[in-house]
Every structure is written in C-alpha cells, then in structure tokens.
Amino acid sequence: MKMISILKKTDAQVERKWDARFIKDKIFTGFIIIFSLITISPIVLIISKLISKGYKQLNWSFFTETTPNTYQAMLAVNLGEIIPGGVLNGITGTILMVLIASIMAIPIGIMVGIFLYENQTKKYAVIVKDITDILQGVPSIVLGLISYFWVVKYITNGFSALAGSFALFIMMLPLIIRSTEETFKMIPVSIKEAGFALGAPYHKIILKVMIPSGLSGLITGILLAISRVVGETAPLMLTALGSMVVNLNIEKPTSALPLLIWEFYNDPNMVDLIWATSLLLMMLVLGLNLISKYIISKRNL
C-alpha cells in the first residue's frame, strides 16, 4: 500500500497535471459535461412547466366531463375561477383510435416481422424490409393525407375516427415489424429447432414457441409504438378532425388529446386547459415508456 501511494506522487505526475495537454483535456471534458447538461435541460424545463401550470386543472371533472365551449371558459377566466369541464372526449377518442390502430397493426406487424425473420437472406424479404424502413421515415402529415384520400373520401365519406386510426396504423406498422424482427433474432435458434425436432407444425412453433419466448420484447415494441402515436397531432387534423362530445362511432369525427391541445392553443379563452391536457398526454407517453423500460430490465435479469 505504501509503495503505491509513493508511486502516485512522483514528481513526473505532479508535473503532468500542469502539462498543457492535460489542461486541454480537462477543458474539453468540461465542455462535454456542460453541453450534456444543456441537452437534457429542456426535459426538466418542459415537465416542470407542465406541472406548475397544469396541476390546478387536474381535478375530477377534468376526467369526467367534455370540453367546455369558449363562452363558458371565458366566463370562468373572467371570474378568476378554473375553467369548468374536462377532456373526456379527448381521452375516449385517443383510446378508441389507438385501440383500433393497435388491433390492425399488432397482428399484421408481428406476422410481417416473422416473415422478415424467417426469410432474412431472400431478396424479396430484403425489399420488404427496405420498404418498411422507408415507411418509418415518412412524415406523419403525409400519412394523414393518405388516410384522408383512402378512408375519409372512400370509406367513411367524411372525417372519422376510423380514418384517424388508419393513419396511426400505418405509423405503428413499421415500428412493430422491426421490433418483432429484432426480438426474434435474439431468441436462440435451438429453441425453435427443439420444437421442430418434436415434430411440431410450423404455425404451432410460431404460436407456442417463438411468440411466448419473445413475448416481453414484443410487448415492449408494441408499447413503444403506441407511445409514439399517442401524441400525434398532424395526421389526426386531416382525418379525425375533432369533436366536442364523446363519440364512439368510428364513422364520425372524433376528438383526441393532442387534437384538443391544438384546439385550446387556437382559442385564447382556453389557455389554462392547454397545460393540464399536455400534462396528461405527457404522463401517458412517459408512463408507456417507463413500463416498456421496466419490461426490458426484467428480461435482462
């Protein structure tokens, strides 16, 4: 022990500390730390802003009543009260549309993911994979436009929850496909081969061996895909449009939390509601993210 402490304090090392290279290194590291702190500062600023401005509105009626009209909101603001009503129509709309999009995207996404995993070397599968990547990069507003031309114009003949779901479905699809493929790539081939060796048919191996052993990965991928589309506004503006009442008819215009934020933003009387709605949306997105992180950490144990 003594030897080491003596070695630690040789003259050369004391000198080295003041060497220009080491000073430069310290300065460089300092900059990296400062820039990293700047990078993460928006998340702290945004969340604290949402909480400090939005918590007042988060009461029971916020979750159980529909949006007030401008006049009610104006009266309340003038009297210095909190705005009556809530965002129930947005909550139900978001749940409805994400649910329909998930019902379409999860089975198709997992099946295409399995197809890509099974045919990794085939040219056709590589093309499908590239197209999936391209789909993933398409701006969401373009997907909204597509859903407008396909669903709003030809299927529901008007703005509808179904059109909104379809846009979200196209957004979710590439995310689920890629996460499914990546998950299956991590499962040892021997598990699958053991199934084949027992003479199990192909579909049974998929359903009873591969999907159960990759379940946590699949769920994580699905949750992350949902958290990505839950806050989407642009495609819903062109498809679901919005509604003042709770609507569960998929052929009718429907509201959603992000759409409500956009409406409140455009209405000066509703400003107070913006923050609470954004806070709710953020909690939803971050909650989904945290659950998926938790599942990943469990799997790694």
Q: Which of residues 107-166 bind another protein (CB under 8 A)?
A: 108, 111-112, 114-116, 118, 124-125, 128, 130-142, 145-146, 148-150
Does the footprint of another protein cover residue 295 (CB under 8 A)? no
- Interface with another protein, residue 74, by CB under 8 A: no
List the interface residues with another protein, window 32-61 (CB under 8 A): 32-36, 38-40, 42-46, 49-50
Q: What is the DSSP letter of 138?
A: S
| Sites for another protein among residues 228-257 (CB under 8 A) | 230-234, 237-238
**Can you give 181-195 as a three-state secondary structure string?**
HHHHHHCCHHHHHHH
Number of residues that bind another protein (CB under 8 A): 77
Q: Which residues of 139-152 are buried (b: 16+ CB within 10 A; e: fewer)?
A: ebeebbbbbbeebb
Taking CA atoms, 234 is separated from 1, 28, 273, in Å, by: 65, 41, 20
Which value, in Å, is the radius of gyration of the alpha carbons in the chain? 26
Q: Which residues of 36-62 are buried (b: 16+ CB within 10 A; e: fewer)?
A: eeeeeeeeeeeeeebeebbeebbeeeb
Q: How far is the CB of 261 from another protein (least distance, A)?
A: 5
Position 294 contacts another protein (CB under 8 A): no
Identity of the residue, 179 or 278, whose beta carbon is nearer to another protein in the bound complex: 278
- Can residue 220 be called a binding residue for another protein (CB under 8 A)? no
Query: What is the C-alpha to C-alpha distance for residues 257 and 7, in angstroms, rounded to an integer?
Result: 64
Q: Which of 55, 63, 202, 294 binds another protein (CB under 8 A)?
A: 202
Near another protein by CB under 8 A: residue from 167, 261, 270, 276: 261
Q: Shortest approach of another protein to residue 111 CB, angstroms?
A: 4
Residue bearing tokens 């990293």 = 36
Cβ proximity of 88 and 65 under 8 Å? yes
Distance of CA 96 to the CA centre of its chain: 16
- By CB under 8 A, residue 281 contacts another protein: yes
Nearest approach, Cβ of residue 2 and another protein (Å): 26
Instruction: Find the shortest distance in angstroms from Cβ 173 to another protein.
Output: 7
